Amino acid sequence: MNYSNTNEKLYDDITLWEKTDGRDLFAQMPLAPDAKSSLTVLDFGYGFGENLFALSNAYPNGKIYGIDCNPICQKEVGEKIAARGIKNITLINKEVHNLQDFQDNSLDLVLLYDALHGGDGKGKYMLYEESHRILKRGACLSILPVHLNNWRDHQGKKKTYTPAKIKAELADYGFEYIGTCPQKGVHWEKCHTLYYIKKGTITFDALEKVEVMNFTKLQ
């Protein structure tokens, strides 16, 4: 893809990603055969909406939900949705301690991208449990594994996680690892962090690209 890879056009490059490589990433998700025509998906911790918009491009007929408690993100993403006339994204703008907005066995895809580190670790295990509850059998849980040295175990202690440890933990919650996608996910942190913004040197190539980890709900 012909990204400009300049700081001045970083956000143009992000919009291009949403329409091309990001769209392709989510179109490649290992979904159940009947899901793609009427996909229902949740992006937990949608941030500034890059993955939401890529999902909307990949599944224009799907129902896409995003949860985030950050008022700055809520405002900016809401304004972008309105300006772009997007009809299939619904924002749930509140802090949550469960995913009770969704019924059991009702979703085809859940994204936990840059959402499993920090805090006391309880949120991570809540998201595992609730993702298993709300996903349909055979549906996909997709994880972007970043900040692995800040993940916590059941005792709330920081542990450096590895892909093998993530797979083992998810197996305990009823998920089986089923591989990654040809396209990598993007860790968007640098382009929204004041320290890097002030430096004025961030380009699209400078953003961390990470292989996503896809799991299927067994039962």
Tens digits of residue pLDDT in 129-177: 999 999 999 999 999 999 999 999 999 999 999 999 999 999 999 999 9
Predicted pLDDT at 54: 98
Predicted pLDDT at 32: 87
CATH number, span 31-183: 3.40.50.150
Give the CA count within 13 Å in the CB-facing half-sphere of 122: 4
Predicted pLDDT at 198: 84
Which candidate, 141, 142, 144, places its Cα nearest to that of 187? Answer: 144
Predicted pLDDT at 208: 96
For the chain, which ranges sit under pLDDT 70? 36
Note whether 43 and 115 are within 8 A (CB).
Answer: no
Q: Where are the domains positioned within the chain?
A: 31-183
Residue 41 three-state SS: strand
Residue type, 130: E
Please state the pTM of the whole predicted model: 0.96
Phi/psi at 38 (5° precision)? -145, 55
